[in-house]
Amino acid sequence: MKKAKDILYSNTLSRLVMGLAIILTMIAIIVVATRDNGNGQRRSRRDENEHGTVVMVEKGDSLSKLLTAQGFESREVRKIAKILKTEADVSTLRANNDRIEFIRRGGSDAPIEKIIITPSPWRKVELTADDAGGWQCNTKFIARDSRAVYRSGEILDGDSFFLAGQRAGIPAGILADVYDLLAFEMDFERDVRAGQRFSVLFEENFSNGKKVENGRVLAVSFDALRGTVKMYRFRKPDGTTGYYDEDGNGAIKSLKRTPINNARVTSSFSTRRKHPVLGFTRAHKGVDFRASTGTPIPAAGAGRVVARSFNRGHGNFVKIRHNGSYETLYAHMSRFAKGVTVGTTVRQGQTIGYVGSTGLSTGPHLHYEIIKDGKHVNPMTVKLPAISNLDSADKRKFLEFRKTVDKGIEELKKNPGMFIQL
């Protein structure tokens, strides 16, 4: 019988349907098991002669300080620090997060034989003393207990998507990820209206029955003005993942319509607009987004900087070429980001400058333009190309996968307090 953890990643429809049939049974078992483990943690059985000392890292602590406090000499401290850095990629300690356990055999005054560092909930590093006076390093990875949970909500009068999402119980970090995904298809300032419904399927990661962090967005749906926007996270047979719409087309576009999340549109694209400074009518070849001075401006897509300069109209501006057809321009910056010069290759989301009011501007805002084949187009309505689509074979697998996810979502709608074990 197929385990529920395979429910979102199976490659055959028959196995997926079988997995769906046992979701509720598995969830019931999981809930009972969680209750049984909730009253305390199991203690590992250790040799009676072993003595362990656990030290929580506090503000101002360093590895050197903590090792010295346990009786290590400077030479040994340097040796241990080098091993941790080169073999376990541990070079710093995080206050109020990391913990170190020192294990002695034979009593509290005996030499330390093992050092255990837990630099994250999912990784444990053990240093064990050997007979030659050295230390053997071993890294153990801790499996995540990942669960898919479903949350849905509705936009009310006066709501922003963020407020409505918080009311629906969606964590702030997940909402930020949803913003980034949906920004390719909609404008959260102009497209959000009372009565619109939305939903998110996302991961929660647990360790020993305790939630540690939120994971990835698995599926999202939003009733936008131009129709319902849906995206699904799908892993292809080659191991790569991406987000795709209902039909298996790439949902992540090469450019974002709104570079700054949740920024208010103050002036739209127009062929005739009375300029607020010059006073006469002329074309407004982009969209203005209100934001406070110093707000980071991310690149709307990956590309190469072809202009970084100042002129009377745009003030400080950056222009990026994304491919043979598309360019974007960002104007009125207060300053440029460090390292962003002509010829610099930037990734999507990388900060290229900061909001300001330089040039012909009446207040701090971002003026954003998209140029397609040398002609300015409306960022809010232009059809943007996807970064990658699925081939025919992968698309068939995706469509089977999407049906399964939708069935799982329907079950969670009926039972909002439950989850799917991944």
pLDDT at 19: 45
pLDDT at 353: 97
Question: Which residues, at least 6 apart from 69, have a Cβ–Cβ distance to it below 8 Å?
Answer: none
Per-residue pLDDT band for 335 (boundaries 50, 70, 90) equals very high
The Cα 376–Cα 369 span in angstroms is 7
pLDDT at 271: 60
pLDDT at 48: 60
3-state secondary structure of 35: helix
The Cα 387–Cα 407 span in angstroms is 28
Per-residue pLDDT band for 155 (boundaries 50, 70, 90) equals very high
pLDDT at 356: 96
Q: Regarding predicted confidence, which is higher, 4 or 335?
A: 335
- Span 130-157, mean pLDDT? 93
Q: Which of 22-36, 86-100, 251-265, 268-282 has the highest mean pLDDT?
A: 86-100
pLDDT at 422: 85
The Cα 387–Cα 251 span in angstroms is 8
Terminal CA-CA length for the chain:
16
Residues paired with 24 in a beta bridge: none
3-state secondary structure of 244: strand
Q: Are strands 315-321 and 303-311 parallel, antiparallel or unpaired?
A: antiparallel
- Span 156-173, mean pLDDT? 94
The Cα 27–Cα 25 span in angstroms is 5
Is the separation of the CB atoms in 267 and 287 below 8 Å? yes
Report the half-sphere exposure of 420 (CA within 13 A, side-chain side): 31
pLDDT at 272: 52
Q: What is the mean pLDDT of the chain?
A: 84
Amino acid in the structure at residue 112: I
